[in-house]
Structure 1
Amino acid sequence: MKELKMYSSEYIMNTPMKPIEYCVDGLISQGLFVLAGAPKVGKSWLALDMCLSIAKGEKVLGKETLCGHAVYLGLEDSLIRLQNRLYELTDEPSDNLHFAIMAESMSNGLPEQIEYCRKRFDDLKIVVIDTLQKVRNESESGYSSDYKELSVLKSLADKLGVAIVLVHHTRKCSDSDPFNMISGSTGLSGCVDGSMVLIESKRGSRTAKLHCVGRDIENQEINVVFESSRWKVSDEIKNIEPDYFSFAVHDFMVTQKTFKGSATELAEKLSALLDKEVFSNRVKKDLIQHAYELLNYGVTFESKRSNGQRIIILNYDMKSDSSDGRNLMPEVCENADPAVTCGNSEMLEKPLNTLLAIDEYEVEAEKSAVTVCDSADPVDDVTDPAANEVYEIELMSLDEVLHMSANKIRSQLANKGIEIPPFETQRKAT
């Protein structure tokens, strides 16, 4: 008899585990997923858009994606159809997106083909198989056969650390539970890590609801509309409060270097940085769940008992800090949109002054560009008493000042990863 390999609750609760990776935030993680819908409803458009968005690192359905390679097996498509669809979705090809229009079945080499893709692309994030029926072995569907057949792909996805999405059909009959409409037995839904069912509100209306359920995702219903060859969210996208716990711990340790104390003491320190209450009974849990991220920022920790009390020990190593010791906690800028944050508290402190402020190297450039006049009208010129030189003043309109100001702050925000689209200033005619 082979002995069970067991883990104690102490080990599971106190051992940092590698976090689940989502290639589409909150929707598709590592594992096996099924995307089902009626024939011609547009599920292939959605699957292709997901692959393209992941390949480019762009949002899909309003959700962030993890940029990396994507492989799309369009087993019911031709190259010309894929070409036409890609031109509908983008003007530029992506080096991270690859296609195949033929593949082996699940029992005749498909797992090996997907493993080859993983070896070829180190950052492979997602493999879409469109459709499941094209790679199935069994002609008949039953719980045992469905579960057994898909278990091969489930194990493969877990082994390779990628998401495998199976495009599948729904039954013609409707059901109050949309996941009961997935064609096949419940063995199919039971085996996969998550299911997505796309149901049109009315056939041909191009409005639909995407029903989502999974082991590592929240149950959700997303209202979507088909516009410009892609499904777009028609609901108002809710703003989710960002998780700054790792940033707060990092910034605290940059100055502290080492910490040894109780969870209550650490919670008080972090509460001041986060400007909200951090509960002592959650500190250890948050440290465990953010362990990999903290390690990337040069912070390691351990928890042990000393004199009957549980203490937390934190250490900081700048050589292992990917941020090179820079503060990571953003600060809400004064006199600015509350939604815009920046890591530099000086930015936007005084909007107009900051926008017009010139860096040292810019000052030198300005000086070299100044025109020295032999004679000048005292009304238009300014004399520098120290240098005893006369400089020409460049007159600017209000629109020019506003544009220069906007360009200055747009450049500063871009360095922080915040993109602000250009705007046009329109002045009313007088």
Structure 2
Amino acid sequence: MGGMTAGAGRVWAHVGQTFAETGYDVVIVGAGRMGAACALFLRQLAPGLRLLIVERGGLPNEEGATILAPGVWTAFDVPPGREAEAAWVRRILEESFGDVQFAARPLLNLYPEEAEGSVPTTDALARCPEAVGLLSPRALPFARVDEDAATYRPGAVALACGQGAVRARADLLLNTHVHLTPGGLCLDRLTVTNTHEIVTHETHELRAGRVIVAMGADGPHAAEHDLGVHTGHGRAYRQAPRLNTPSTDAAPILRAGGLTLRPQHGGFTLIPPVHHRDPHGYVPTGGRLTGVPVGVRRETLEDLIRLMDALPPLGTEALEVGHSLADVPGAWLALPEGRADAPPVHHSLTEGAHLLLGGPLADTLGLAVAYDLAAELAGVRERPWGKVPFRTAKKLPLEGEVGRG
């Protein structure tokens, strides 16, 4: 967290730094993209409030849905009526963050049969020659093209928002596990033993005027386990295999059968579709390819095999499937309302506690939903993307109304 200016918030990175605070106006649990963005927006909209961000790992965390998110903004992912919000998110990503590597590139959504707004795939390939050789026009003869699509780094967005919030005087507590309690939280500050085991070093009780639960896929479970509040949200384990077919800065994004081929690091990251929520207690396991154990879960492996004729590189050694689950990056993904097509959402859990979820459409709408929650809690009626229905909410207590440490 180097480079913070004078007057910035405080950062507790390890248990050697004494934490003696007893209360904040707002505590945000989780410093992924959604939580960090909400923190930054809240500091901008209500700078008089004392704000703490609590994160179980570092900033940004080196694992989780934010780091493995596709980072694909596309109009194809915008639900009807949310176009203004998505356009605002695109403008923010393009103009407000210096290290997200926002890169405009077309997205080709490919189909085996003609779809509304589609063109012949051969015509699309004439505009995107980099995609020639990646797909079979005979198997996927039609395509819809989003010329305004773009790729970026969600982890860089989380880092920029977190650092911006701290520069704006938000406090940040890292390496800390949280248990939600009525009116506050119980904090377990974590440390690592000589045998690399993560253990609780010390525990603190913290009062909070408002708690924002931005823990990703763990958020609904925490609400139910700690607060006794049942939600209809779910989660799924999504992996991101690697396809080592060469790509350049001019390569388009491809989609076929729900699978996204995202140009990245000179090849492609594969983002498989999420068909349904995983049942409670599901433990991810690898599948088998021609009888050989691999690290890609069975459901994803079936999707890849199904598309090998349409996307021939999937049937070559360019596809990395690993030998075990540990060989293929993966993370638990929140599914708002338990659906893979549901947009990001926030809502009240109990008096003073709010849930903030990103999910599969967070790349396109996540920042707008994080802003909406920040504005609602700050008592701000207008939204920068135009007229948005205002949901009545109590304004947060002013600075000093929640006890200081």
Aligning the two structures, in what range does the TM-score lie when normalised by the shorter sequence? Answer: under 0.3
Structure of higher RCO (CA pairs closer than 8 Å, 6+ residues apart): 2
Higher Cα Rg: structure 1 or 2? Answer: 1
**Structure in which a larger fraction of residues adopt helix:** 1
For normalisation by structure 2, the TM-score amounts to 0.25
